[in-house]
Amino acid sequence: MTALARRDRLDSKAIVLGVLIVAAKVVVTLPQLRTDLALVAITWVVVISFVVVGVALLSTEDIADANGWNCLVVAAATLPGDLNNAHFPPSVAAVGFVLEPTYLAAAVALVLRYPRARLNRRGRFITAGLVITSVVWRIPLVFFAGDLPSPFHDATVLPNVEAAPWWFDWVWLRAGYLGTIMLLIGAAGLLVIRAVTSRGLIRTSLAPLAIVGAVCALSAAADNLIWVLGIPGPQFEPIALIRNFSAAAIPVALLGDLIRRRGASAAISSHVLQAARSGDVLSLEGALRDVLLDRTLTVRPTSDLTPQSPAAGDKGGPRRSVTVTSAYARTPLVVIEFDVRSVTDEALLRTVLAAVQVGLDNTQLTQELLQRMTELEASRARIVQAGAQERRKVERDLHDGAQQQFLAVAATLAKSDFVSDQELRDVVQNARVGLSDALAELRQLARGIHPAALSQGGLSAALPYLCDQSPLHITLHIDDSVRGRSIAPAVETAMYFIAAESLANAARHAPDSEVVINLTSDQARVNIEISDHGRGGARFAEHGGLVGLRDRAEALDGELDVHSDPCPEHPDDAGSRVSASFPIDGRTV
Amino acid sequence: MSSQYDLRSPDGESLTVVLVDDSALFRQGLAGLLFAAGLQVVAELGNVDALPAVMARLQPNVVLMDVRMPPTHTDEGIAAAQMLRDQFPKVGVLVLSTYAEAEWARRLLANGASGLGYLLKDRVDDVPTLIAAIRRVSAGGTAIDPEIVAHLLRRSTQQPSAMDRLSPRELETLALMAEGLSNTGIGAQLYLSSRTVEAHIASIFDKLPLQHRDTATNRRVLAVLAYLHERESQDPQDSAPQTLRRGATEE
């Protein structure tokens, strides 16, 4: 995916540029910086950005709602810290002091959870640990003060406060803060490990959040370490600045990921769709490798069942395979196999698979359509050709048959110019015989074009007549369900000629066999089957009568099948079976 | 009985005829008719295979031949007629066809008209025309079916041409010229004196750009037919009837 790769390069340039701009800004504004004001301003920015991103996450379907709510919780959790100063009554300030670290737990929960709805076991452990070591462990700090400087702004204003025992600093201040530090380092480690062990799109997507989150957690840990060491002072304020800055960057990283996902989804949709439409498995594989950034991903048709080894040079993590099934035909299309670590995001996977499905379905439908069109064109051409051939045959039958017979009669009658009255009788007698022969010939021909019985009495009347004319021994069954049914005339004609052609074939290949004709119908269709036990010569020969009849059947949305025994399934049988089925009204049901 | 027509060959014998037609029924009927009319049918053939041998052995005056015959049922008769023309120039060949195909007639006469004829089979009902045609081709003349001539004339007069300047009588004369009739024959048909016929013919030759101002009947037929064919093929809106098209589209 060249488009996405190019965007990555642009991103990194812009990032470098943006960092330079910010650094320059910081350097230039340092002389006029008033730390407390800056810290307050930054917390505003943090709160605003968490609220905005939280709302943005809640308004998207790509990311679980828990992440959006978590953003709002982080924004709200920054409030207690602001109560911890002399502007508020001591009791309020005390509550604020105790609850101040909740923002840490909330922020860690957010970055560890994102983009899933639930925290995993380690995430829950770290979050709960942070609540205990930072929030619960702070409660004694409100009431007692030890030798170390207290983070509570003024522990002495509370009543009944006496000097804490010697172990107070160790148990409550140092132990609690150290626990918090360890958990923060753990959280940073988890983030980094997660980003490093993931693959493909997920890795590039998680990297900014991992970096920002790790920086934030580590700077918060360093900030805590100052209290453990008991050396607070304005010289360490830059650490708090870094912590707050990186906290402000968390929503930006989330937003960036969201935009990236959106872009990736759109790109995936169009790119994968395009590749899938090509119908070429290799180009689809290339496209999927591009968009999921997993070079070990494989795509193969479901017909190819050999398990494939992942590409060489990769350590090869656990693999997962997904079968894409046609949406309209419900048949498997391809199997996609990939590194589990590259796609941990089910929404993204669904997008990809949907694009693959749509693209492949599209290709398959197009191909089927083209194939059907080619078949239709061929069949239409054959029908036209068969029509012309039929007309030529009729002309020739007329020319060779009745026309010559009538001309012979004319010649016979012309003899009357030269014969005596006695001979005239013979001339006329000969002419009468010739005429009646010619008429019989015409009648036969007319029946071949369209049997009169068919127009007058339908198939039920024409078939017995057809059987009577045949030299074969025929058993004709006409189901009661057919009699009295109104069948489309075109269907009746097609079925009549299928029977006629089959009988002609049987006369050639099974002259001594009994022929059985079965005419049945159900709700929507009428069926005919003509079977014999002869040598089984019936088949679709090129330019043969059965091919023409099949075209005719298909033009009426009917089907014509020919079966010849012996075949692999009926090695002991012999004979031919021609069966046809039509919609009763001749139209598509 | 045969006194009705003069059916003697140039050497005074009764005309001998060979029939070639794949329809046995028609052959039989025609043979009966010709026999009754006083001709000698010396051989009947169902196809042209044995024709050269039969010709060499029996040396008939006339061959009556169908066009569509085995093996391809297309134009065997025309090809066979041209073969006879080359190998037996003294034998008259009268092609009998179910259809009035101008194209077949043109091909038949492509290398000269002498002793050749093309007649519709329907003429078996018109004994005088049939006998006259047989006589004409046996005597080295030409016989073209009136149907074909009428068709060509109709097509030619449908468009503005030099034909417009012909009087009705001259048109009738032109048609009979095309059928292969001699001046005497034309006079007999139109109840005109030979002098009047000659005047009409001179006038036709004046008005039409015919290729040969030839008075020999056979070459005159060719000239007139060639002229009519040419007029026909110039027709811009081709609405040629079926009979004409078939010759061109079927091999």
A312: confidence class by pLDDT, cuts 50, 70, 90: very low
Provide mean pLDDT across the span A177-197: 91
Q: Which residue type sits at A326?
A: S
Query: Please, which residues 52-71 of chain B have a Cβ atom closer than 8 Å to chain A?
Result: 68
> Which has the minimum average pLDDT: A42-46, A179-183, A459-463, A476-480?
A42-46
> Which has the minimum average pLDDT: A567-581, B74-88, B130-144?
A567-581
| Amino acid A11: pLDDT | 56
| Nearest residue to A286 via CA among A349, A356, A343, A340 | A356
Q: Which residue type sits at B105?
A: A
Beta strands A514-521; A525-531: pairing state: antiparallel
- Residue-wise pLDDT tens digits, A21-77: 877 877 777 777 666 777 778 788 888 888 888 888 888 776 788 888 899 899 889
Flag if B98 and A399 touch (Cβ within 8 Å): yes
Residue A304: phi and psi, rounded to 5, are -90, 105
B121 chain-A contacts, CB cut-off 8 A: 407
Taking residue A2's Cβ as centre, other Cβ atoms within 10 Å add up to 8
Q: Is B23 on the interface with A (CB under 8 A)?
A: yes
Which residue of chain A has the CA closest to B98? Answer: A399
Provide mean pLDDT across the span A153-179: 72
Provide mean pLDDT across the span A314-318: 64
Which residue of chain B has the CA closest to A401? Answer: B23
Q: Chain B closest CA to A401's CA: distance in Å?
A: 8
Ramachandran quadrant class, B61 (left: phi over 0; alpha: psi -120 to 50; beta: rest): alpha
Q: Report helix, strand and coil shares of chain A as percent, to nearest 5.
A: 65, 10, 25
Statement: residue B127 has pLDDT above 50: yes
Provide mean pLDDT across the span B52-75: 92
- Residue-wise pLDDT tens digits, A245-293: 888 889 888 888 888 777 777 777 788 888 888 878 888 888 888 777 7
> Which has the minimum average pLDDT: A97-106, A564-573, B138-147, B233-242?
B233-242
B190: confidence class by pLDDT, cuts 50, 70, 90: very high
Query: Residue A462, Cα to own-chain centre: how many angstroms?
Result: 53
Statement: residue A123 has pLDDT above 50: yes
- How many helices and strands, by DSSP H and E, does chain A display? 20, 8
Ramachandran quadrant class, B73 (left: phi over 0; alpha: psi -120 to 50; beta: rest): left
User: In this predicted complex, what is the ipTM?
Assistant: 0.83
Beta strands B62-66; A298-301: pairing state: unpaired
Provide mean pLDDT across the span B172-189: 91
A414 chain-B contacts, CB cut-off 8 A: 33, 124-125, 127
Nearest to A408 among B4, B29, B37 (CB): B29
For an interface test with B, give the residue of A391, A396, A418, A422 to mutate (most B CBs within 10 A).
A418
| Amino acid A433: pLDDT | 93
| Amino acid A470: pLDDT | 86
Flag if A412 and B29 touch (Cβ within 8 Å): yes
A417 chain-B contacts, CB cut-off 8 A: 4, 36-37, 127
Residue with tokens 């070639």: B20
B23 chain-A contacts, CB cut-off 8 A: 400, 404, 407-408
A10: confidence class by pLDDT, cuts 50, 70, 90: very low
Statement: residue A182 has pLDDT above 90: yes
Distance CA A64, CA A69 (A): 10
Q: Is A473 on the interface with B (CB under 8 A)?
A: no
B241: confidence class by pLDDT, cuts 50, 70, 90: very low
Which residue of chain A has the CA closest to B35? Answer: A415
Q: Is A404 on the interface with B (CB under 8 A)?
A: yes
Distance CA A195, CA B84 (A): 101
Flag if A408 and B37 touch (Cβ within 8 Å): no
Residue A493: phi and psi, rounded to 5, are -65, -45
B68 chain-A contacts, CB cut-off 8 A: 399
Which residue of chain A has the CA closest to B38? Answer: A418
Q: Which of A221-225, A445-449, B208-212 has the highest mean pLDDT?
A: A221-225
Q: Which of A158-167, A303-312, B95-104 has the highest mean pLDDT?
A: B95-104
Which residue of chain A has the CA closest to B120? Answer: A407
Q: Chain B closest CA to A431's CA: distance in Å?
A: 10
Flag if A414 and B26 touch (Cβ within 8 Å): no
Query: Please, which residues 86-105 of chain B have a Cβ atom closer than 8 Å to chain A?
Result: 98
| Nearest residue to B81 via CA among B110, B123, B57 | B110
| Nearest residue to A499 via CA among A482, A481, A516, A480 | A516
> Which has the minimum average pLDDT: A90-99, A327-336, B206-215?
B206-215
| Amino acid A4: pLDDT | 38
Structure tokens at B202: 């001179």
Which residue of chain A has the CA closest to B131? Answer: A414
Q: pLDDT: is A548 or B242 the higher one?
A: A548
Flag if B29 and A396 touch (Cβ within 8 Å): no
For an interface test with A, give the residue of B22, B26, B35, B74 to mutate (most A CBs within 10 A).
B26
| Amino acid A484: pLDDT | 82
Indicate the average pLDDT of chain A.
Answer: 83
DSSP class of B235 = -
Q: Chain A closest CA to B123's CA: distance in Å?
A: 9
Query: Residue A372, Cα to own-chain centre: how many angstroms?
Result: 24
Distance CA A307, CA A325 (A): 19
| Amino acid A298: pLDDT | 87
Indicate the average pLDDT of chain B.
Answer: 84
Nearest to A418 among B25, B37, B73 (CB): B37
DSSP letters, B8-60, are B-TTSSBPEEEEE-S-HHHHHHHHHHHHHHT-EEEEEESSSTTHHHHHHHH--
Flag if A415 and B33 touch (Cβ within 8 Å): yes
DSSP class of A587 = S
B124 chain-A contacts, CB cut-off 8 A: 407, 410-411, 414
- What is the SS3 assignment for A93? helix
Flag if A409 and B121 touch (Cβ within 8 Å): no
Strand (E) or helix (H) holding A577: strand A575-583
Cβ atoms of residues A280 and A300 within 8 Å: no
A396 chain-B contacts, CB cut-off 8 A: 73
B2 chain-A contacts, CB cut-off 8 A: 418
A339: confidence class by pLDDT, cuts 50, 70, 90: confident
> Which has the minimum average pLDDT: A140-149, A378-387, B135-144?
A140-149
- Residue-wise pLDDT tens digits, B2-22: 446 667 766 677 899 999 999
Nearest to B121 among A400, A407, A418 (CB): A407
Q: Chain B closest CA to A405's CA: distance in Å?
A: 6
- Dmax of chain A from CA atoms? 165
Q: Chain A closest CA to B142's CA: distance in Å?
A: 23
- Residue-wise pLDDT tens digits, A485-542: 889 888 999 999 999 999 988 888 888 888 999 999 988 899 999 998 887 777 777 7
Cβ atoms of residues A582 and A558 within 8 Å: yes
Query: Please, which residues 118-147 of chain B have a Cβ atom closer than 8 Å to chain A?
Result: 121-122, 124-125, 127
- Residue-wise pLDDT tens digits, B134-165: 999 999 999 999 998 888 888 777 777 778 88
Which residues, including other chains, have CB under 8 Å from residue A494's CB and lie 6 or more apart? A549, A552, A553, A556, A558, A580, A582
Cβ atoms of residues A576 and A531 within 8 Å: yes
| Amino acid A7: pLDDT | 44
Q: Is B159 on the interface with A (CB under 8 A)?
A: no
| Amino acid B73: pLDDT | 87
B20 chain-A contacts, CB cut-off 8 A: none
Cβ atoms of residues A518 and A463 within 8 Å: no
Statement: residue B237 has pLDDT above 60: no
| Nearest residue to A202 via CA among A435, A227, A210 | A210
A582: confidence class by pLDDT, cuts 50, 70, 90: very high
Rg, Å, chain B Cα set: 18
Provide mean pLDDT across the span A379-401: 88
Statement: residue A543 has pLDDT above 80: no
- For A147-214, the three-class secondary structure string (H helix, E strand, C coil) is CCCCCCCCHHHCCCCCECCCCHHHHHHHHHHHHHHHHHHHHHHHHHHHHHHCCHHHHHHHHHHHHHHH
Question: What separation in angstroms does the CA of B245 have from each of A519, B49, B75, B154?
Answer: 45, 28, 14, 16
Beta strands A525-531; A575-583: pairing state: antiparallel
Distance CA A122, CA A108 (A): 11
Flag if B29 and A434 touch (Cβ within 8 Å): yes
B74 chain-A contacts, CB cut-off 8 A: none
